[in-house]
Amino acid sequence: MTSTSNKLSGAAISEFLASRRSTRAFLPDPIPQELLDQILTDALTAPSWSNTRPFKIAVASGSRRDRISAEFGSRWASISHNLSRGWRGKLAIALTRRGLPTSNRLVAKKYHSDLKPASMRLGAELFGTLGIARDDRKARDAWWATNYDFYGAPTELFIYVHKSLGIFAASDAGLMMENLALSAHAHGLGTCMQGAVSIWDDVVRREFTISKNYRLLCGLAIGYPREAKDNTFKAHRIAPEEMLFEPKSN
């Protein structure tokens, strides 16, 4: 076999893959440009539908990152405040529309019953680690707000996919993002993919020239991990059998 991958043992790769975890607390230290370039180059070694690479990235750092974060934070504060005020709050939302999704509404939807148990388990275990009580809405909302500070990361990547390829564009972006996350991990950086930031695309478009042929898929926070309880959390990983369909007996 003429593979070059055999420089690393299979066991080392399995261990490395298992060691990647979402980072939810970052140091503010900027990422050196050469390092970010390398990580983006590594991301592009992922396979792609007809090699089209149907995605693009808006890289937000420095004041651009801060402006986006501030507007997201303000919209979240408004919607979370109004949602806690019963019908008066709902009326205020309907009248002002402040904080309502302007792009991807899926994030605000309830989970299908097939998926709900896993998402509830994640919430319970993550909030358990952070010491946030299940019924403490204020604390949960305050934690969710940290999504909009990108967990303190110096850089947020906004991942856009080409509308014309539908699910295949999202699949390609996912492959690219995972390569990116693994390369970052190998270089001592942490990442957190963020569906939470996909709801207010208009804010990102104010800062970048983005073709209408692309729509926002999600964000990806990247930077150096900080020592924090949030980064000790280890989400449950299902066993392979749970992923497999039952074969029919014939």
- Residue keyed to tokens 């692309």: 214
> Which amino acid is it at 225?
P
Q: Which is nearer to ligand FMN, 92 or 162 (CB)?
A: 162
Q: Is 147 in the site for ligand FMN (CB under 6 A)?
A: yes
Q: Is 193 in the site for ligand FMN (CB under 6 A)?
A: yes
User: Which residue stretch of 28-36, 70-78, 188-196, 242-250 sits at the interface with ligand FMN (rule: CB under 6 A)?
Assistant: 188-196
Q: Which is nearer to ligand FMN, 92 or 148 (CB)?
A: 148
Minimum separation from the CB atom of position 12 to ligand FMN (A): 19
Q: Is 204 in the site for ligand FMN (CB under 6 A)?
A: no
Distance in angstroms (rounded) separating the CA atoms of residues 182 and 161: 20
Number of other CB atoms surrounding residue 198 within 10 Å:
22
Q: Is 195 in the site for ligand FMN (CB under 6 A)?
A: yes
Q: Is 24 in the site for ligand FMN (CB under 6 A)?
A: yes
Minimum separation from the CB atom of position 22 to ligand FMN (A): 4
DSSP letters, 179-244, are HHHHHHHHTT-EEEEEGGGGG-HHHHHTTS---TTEEEEEEEEEE-B-S-GGGG-------HHHHS
**DSSP character for 155?**
E
Of residues 39, 196, 199, 222, which one binds ligand FMN by CB under 6 A?
A: 196
Q: Is 194 in the site for ligand FMN (CB under 6 A)?
A: yes
- What sign for the dihedral angle of Cα 166, 175, 21, 70? negative
Q: Is 140 in the site for ligand FMN (CB under 6 A)?
A: no
Q: Which is nearer to ligand FMN, 58 or 192 (CB)?
A: 192
Q: Which is nearer to ligand FMN, 32 or 128 (CB)?
A: 128
User: Which spans in the chain are helix H?
Assistant: 10-19, 33-43, 62-83, 86-96, 116-130, 137-145, 166-186, 201-205, 240-243
- Residue keyed to tokens 């991942």: 159
Give residues in contact with ligand FMN (CB under 6 A).
Answer: 21-22, 24, 122, 147, 192-196, 218, 235
